[in-house]
Structure 1
Amino acid sequence: MKARCDKVECDPGQLITFPTPSRFKLEDQPLVRSYIDRFHPESCEFNFSNLFCWQEIYDYSWFIFKGRLVIYEGVNNCGFMPLGEAFSPDELKELSHHLICMGFEPDISIFPREYVDAYPDIERFYTIREERDHAEYIYRVDSLAELTGTKLHKKRNLISQFKRRNPDYSVRPLKADDFPIARNFVRHIIETREKVSQDLEDEFKAIERAFDNFESLGFEGIALWVNDKLVAFCVFSRLTHDTYNVQFEKSDLAFKGAAQVINQETAKFLQNKCVYVNREQDLGIKGLRQAKLSYEPERLIVPHTLIFKT
C-alpha cells in the first residue's frame, strides 16, 4: 500500500473518519435505500440486502463523501462507484486521495461504460479495466416467465419432463417455517460435493444471514416441493422501481428440470412486480456463464474498474 501512496499528502484535519467498524446496520437501510431510489443503480452490488448479508465476507464498509454514498470492499481493495450525482474526473481523483488518506487502496470499481465514454479525460488519472467476469445479467421478467422462441425450447422441455415425473409438485412462497428446511437443503448440497469450496461456505453464511433477517431486509422467496420434499428455492428482493435482484437460488440435481422450474416460477411470481430481473454475475465460471447466456438476457451490465495512477 505504501508504494502507491507516497506521492499523496494527507491533511490530518480533513481525514474522513468512516468507514465505521460496525459496517452496515439494519438502521442504515433507509439511508442507503434513499440513494437507490433516487439514483437507480443497475448493479446488484448496491442492493442493501446484498451488502448486509455479504459484508463480513467481503469486508464492506461505507461513508458519505461530498453528498455521495461510497462503499468500500476490503477483499478486493477498491471503492464502488459513488452513488449520487456523477463526479467529474477531478472529483474522483480527490476521492481516491481520501481513500489513500484513510489507509485504503485508491481504485474505484463498478463504473458503467457510459461513464467512461462521457468523461474521456478520466484517463488522465486512471487506467480503465473492463471486468467481464463480473458482468451482471439482466432479463425481461416476461421473457423468463413465458420462455417463448426456439432458443428456449430446451428449457420448456426440461420443465415439461419435471412436471410429468412429479405430478404432485407444488410451488408456494417461502415462509419462516421453511427456513430451517432450506438451510439443511443448502448444507446437504454443499456436503455432497466432492470438494467443498470456500465460495460455497461463504454463500452459506450469507444465506443464513438472509434467513435471520428475511423480513427486515425486504426479502421474498418461493419454494418448489415434491410432496413434502424441498427440491428447489429462490430468494430475491427489489433493487429499483422496475428491477428485482435474484440473490440465492438452489435446486436438487436429482430432480431433473427443478432448476428450470424454479427459474420460471420465480419470473411468474414477479411478473406483476417488476419489468426486469438481475440474476447477478457468472464470475468467469464457464458452466454458469453458459447457463446464464442460454436464457437470452436482455443485456449485460459490464462494470469497469478505474485503477488510480499514483
Structure 2
Amino acid sequence: MLSIDDFKPLDLEDKPLFDRYYKKFPPFHSDQLFTTMISWNDYAHYHYTLIKNHLIIMTIINNQVQFRNPMGRHDREICYQVLKLAKNVESNYSLGFIDHTSKVYLTKNFPKLEFIPQRGYFDYVYLSSELAKLEGEKFRKIRNRLNKFKKKNIYTTEDISKENMEEVRKFLKRWCLWRDCESDKILKNEKKAIIYSMKHFFDLDLSGLVLRVNEKIEAISVYEKMDEETVVIHYEKGSPYYDGIYKAINQEVAERVCTKYRYINRESDMDAPGLRQAKMSYRPHHLVKVFAVNKKNIQF
C-alpha cells in the first residue's frame, strides 16, 4: 500500500528520470515540468514516487500537503491509494492539478468526489503563429504599443549563452529592485526560482532570449520544450522604462519558435488580476484547466 514515506524529495539529479518518463507520458501542465518543480522547490517542497510506472508528485506548501493525480495510464487501484493518502493529510484540497480527462475517469470510478476548478493555475496556451504575426483586429492594441516601441528604440536580440549569462543575472537583480521583490511573497519566491533556473540554465536544457536597447540588456525570456508541439515560457522580464518592451520580447520569441512549435504555453496567472488581464489580451487558443478534490468528499 502506498505510504507518504514512499515519497522522496526532488533533487536536480532526478532530471534524467523525469526526462525518460515524460518521453512516454508527456506533461499536460507547466507545473509538471521538471524545471518548474526544481526551481520552485524551496517554496513548494516537491516530492515524488514511482509506483507501477505511475509518477506521483506531492507538494508541501505552508505545511499543507497536496498530492498530484497519478501520471501515466489510468489505473483505479493506484488512484484509490492516492485518494486514501489524500484523505488522511491536513489539507482541505489534498489532491490537485487534475486535468479534464482524469476528472472524467475519477468521476466514473469515484462518483462521490467533488471537483473545484483551480482557476489561478489554468495554463494559457496560444498559437505561436498568432503571437509571431499579431495580425487582425484582435491584436490591434498590442500592435500599436509594439510599433511605438520599435519607432522609439533601436534594439537587438541574441540567445542567452555562457558569454552573456553574467549580464543576464545583473539584469535580473535590477528587475527585482524595480519590482521590490522582497516586499511581496510571490515575487520573493519567484526571485529564488529565477536565480536557481539561471544558475542551472544549461543543466536544465533551457533556452532564452535577451533584448538589448542601447547595447544594454533590458528584457529576457526563458523557455523550453514541453512536448513535440509546445514550448513553455517560464520567465519573461522587462525594464519598466520602455513601454512596449514586453510586447517586443514576446513577439521575438514567438517568431523564433513558431516554425517548430504550434503552441506557446505561457503558464498560469496565480489569480493576479493584472496578470490575468494581460494574458487574456493575447487571446489564448485554449486554457489547460485543472481541478482539486475537496477532501470531505473523498469517500469509498
TM-score past 0.5 threshold? yes
**2:203 equivalent among 168, 192, 216:** 216
Which residue does 2:172 correspond to in 1?
186
Cα distance in structure 2, aligned partners of 1:216 and 1:104: 35
Q: 1:120 to 1:18 in 2, by over 3 A?
A: closer
Which residue does 2:160 correspond to in 1?
174
Aligned-partner SS, 1:280: coil
Alignment-mate amino acid for residue 108 of structure 1: L
Cα distance in structure 2, aligned partners of 1:291 and 1:251: 14
Cα distance in structure 2, aligned partners of 1:283 and 1:213: 25
Whether contact under 8 Å (2:87, 2:94) holds in the other structure is no
Which residue does 2:280 correspond to in 1?
293
CA apart distance, 1:122: 4.6
Q: 1:80 to 1:150 in 2, by over 3 A?
A: same
Which residue does 1:127 correspond to in 2?
114
Whether contact under 8 Å (1:60, 1:71) holds in the other structure is yes
**2:142 equivalent among 133, 155, 158:** 155
Structure 1 vs Structure 2 CA RMSD: 2.1
**2:188 equivalent among 183, 186, 201:** 201
Cα distance in structure 2, aligned partners of 1:207 and 1:129: 30
Q: CA deviation digits over 1:46-90, x for unaligned, max 9?
A: 1111111111211111111232001111115211121111133x5
Count, aligned residues: 293
Asked if 1:268 is matched to 2:255, the reply is yes
Whether contact under 8 Å (2:86, 2:95) holds in the other structure is no
TM-score (norm 2): 0.90
Cα distance in structure 2, aligned partners of 1:241 and 1:227: 36
Which residue does 2:43 correspond to in 1?
57
Q: 1:194 to 1:205 in 2, by over 3 A?
A: closer
Q: 1:278 to 1:302 in 2, by over 3 A?
A: same
Which residue does 2:72 correspond to in 1?
84
**2:266 equivalent among 270, 279, 298:** 279
Alignment-mate amino acid for residue 216 of structure 2: K
Cα distance in structure 2, aligned partners of 1:15 and 1:271: 44
Asked if 1:33 is matched to 2:19, the reply is yes
Gaps of 5+ in 1: 1-10
Aligned-partner SS, 1:192: helix
CA apart distance, 1:123: 4.7
Aligned-partner SS, 2:204: coil
Cα distance in structure 2, aligned partners of 1:241 and 1:26: 23
Cα distance in structure 1, aligned partners of 2:86 and 2:51: 10
Alignment identity in percent?
A: 25
CA apart distance, 1:156: 1.4
Q: CA deviation digits over 1:167-222, x for unaligned, max 9?
A: 2x101111123333222322223223468212111111111111111111010000
Q: Matches of residues 10-49 of structure 1 in structure 2 within 5 Å?
A: 15=3, 17-20=5-8, 23-49=9-35
Which residue does 1:5 correspond to in 2?
none
Which residue does 1:137 correspond to in 2?
124
Q: 1:93 to 1:118 in 2, by over 3 A?
A: closer
Q: 1:99 to 1:186 in 2, by over 3 A?
A: same
TM-score (norm 1): 0.87
**1:109 equivalent among 72, 96, 111:** 96
Alignment-mate amino acid for residue 43 of structure 1: H
Which residue does 1:68 correspond to in 2?
54
Aligned-partner SS, 2:138: helix
Whether contact under 8 Å (1:49, 1:218) holds in the other structure is no
